Amino acid sequence: MKILITGGAGFIGSHVVRLFLNKYPDYTIYNLDKLTYAGNLENLTDIEQSSNYHFIKGDITNEDFITSLFKKEQFDAVIHLAAESHVDRSITNPLEFIMTNIVGTVNLLNAARSIWGDNYDNNIFYHVSTDEVYGSLGDTGYFLETTNYDPRSPYSASKASSDHLVRAYYHTYGLPVKLSNCSNNYGSHQFPEKLIPLMINNIKNNKPLPIYGKGDNIRDWLWVNDHARAIDDVFHKGIIGETYNIGGHNEWKNIDLVYQLCTVMDKKLNREKGTSEKLITFVKDRAGHDMRYAIDATKIKNELGWEPSITFEEGLEKTVDWYLENEKWLNNVTSGAYKEYYQAQYN
């Protein structure tokens, strides 16, 4: 099976590429990535020499390139993760999100249709999406696969639009699609613009820890390796046309999560307990900040037998260890353009 994984040099994509290469040596994996600021081939140094792995540098918004790539390689399946993924950047520059997340997805759908025709032979177009398409919850309730879409940031609106288009290609053309919507991921190789790696990097460097608003927004955190396992399950066992919600049953208020992270970091850095939390600084809230996300993952548990494999405490400790052991990776991604981004975002 020839599988195209888009965005495989990013955070989640690199874990999916690694899992598929290690678990399915008979598959040939093609990783298509534009290598934006978030794409990093250093995420894949351990597998880049595999004979069944190919990296292709390219942009999914380039229709001609995508069409000819599909014609040439005749992929059997696509796992689509390439996206602009950071809410704060979508607030500053929505158009880039529209181009990559919506136009890029349509280019891939069209290219898949053009090579698979109407007779599908075990083909799969798997679209990886986010729980943010469902909007924001109050104190109670969970996102189900049947929850109405209510995206509220340019990022989530662009992902919602791409989800609708993927389903439209299933209903209109019979394209064999699968979708999943996952909660917030954390783990190794995540770019330090997202909450957990940003805080780890700042604690390490004794820099202020910027908490938006009062820090009472809630996210449902899942270890990235467990997301990759779920993607494997949906790809191999999920039903065509269906959507699966993926989540950790692991809700944390941002401020409590940062306190927990400070405790772990104090221990790891041999700092006196309570040292790092002194760095906490409350800053201006994110515009349109969604209050709470929480996934009901009953369907994927009952139908595909997937569950998270480790607790949040274990996952957080592994994550902190990885960032502390991979100083070179962290230094490389936080030099240059990151400094400008940080300055503009946090003044």
198 touching ligand TYD, by CB under 6 A: yes
Angle between helical axes of 312-325 and 195-204 (0-180°, round to 10)? 50
Q: Which of 19, 35, 144, 168 binds ligand NAD (CB under 6 A)?
A: 35
What are the structure tokens assigned to 215, written together?
A: 């820090």
Q: How far is the CB of 330 from ligand TYD (least distance, A)?
A: 16
Nearest-angstrom CA–CA distance, 206 and 200: 10
- Taking the least distance from each CB to ligand NAD, the nearer of 132 and 277 is 132
Torsion angle defined by CA atoms of residues 136, 142, 145 and 149, in that order, rounded to the nearest 10 degrees: -20
Q: Running DSSP on this structure, what letter comes out for residue 83?
A: -
Catalytic residue among 33, 132, 226, 233: 132
Q: Where are the beta strands (DSSP E) in the chain?
A: 2-6, 28-33, 53-57, 77-80, 124-130, 177-182, 184-186, 209-212, 218-223, 243-246, 251-253, 280-283
Q: How far is the CB of 347 from ligand TYD (least distance, A)?
A: 12
Tell me if residue 226 is catalytic.
no
Catalytic residue among 33, 131, 145, 277: 131
Q: Which does 13 bind (CB under 5 to 8 A by kind): ligand NAD, ligand TYD, none?
A: ligand NAD
Catalytic residue among 134, 142, 155, 293: 155
Tell me if residue 131 is catalytic.
yes
Q: Which of 13, 151, 192, 315 binds ligand NAD (CB under 6 A)?
A: 13
What are the structure tokens assigned to 213, written together?
A: 């608003």
160 touching ligand NAD, by CB under 6 A: no
Q: Which of 219, 227, 229, 292 binds ligand TYD (CB under 6 A)?
A: 219
Q: How far is the CB of 227 from ligand TYD (least distance, A)?
A: 14
Tell me if residue 132 is catalytic.
yes
Q: Which of 28, 31, 90, 100 binds ligand NAD (CB under 6 A)?
A: 100
Whole-angstrom CA distances from 331 to 129, 197, 325 are 29, 12, 12
Torsion angle defined by CA atoms of residues 163, 165, 168 and 169, in that order, rounded to the nearest 10 degrees: -110
What are the structure tokens assigned to 130, written together?
A: 């986010």
Q: Which of 30, 70, 191, 306 binds ligand NAD (CB under 6 A)?
A: 191
Residues near ligand NAD (CB under 6 A) are 6-7, 9-13, 33-36, 38-39, 59-61, 81-85, 100, 104, 128-130, 159, 182, 184-185, 191
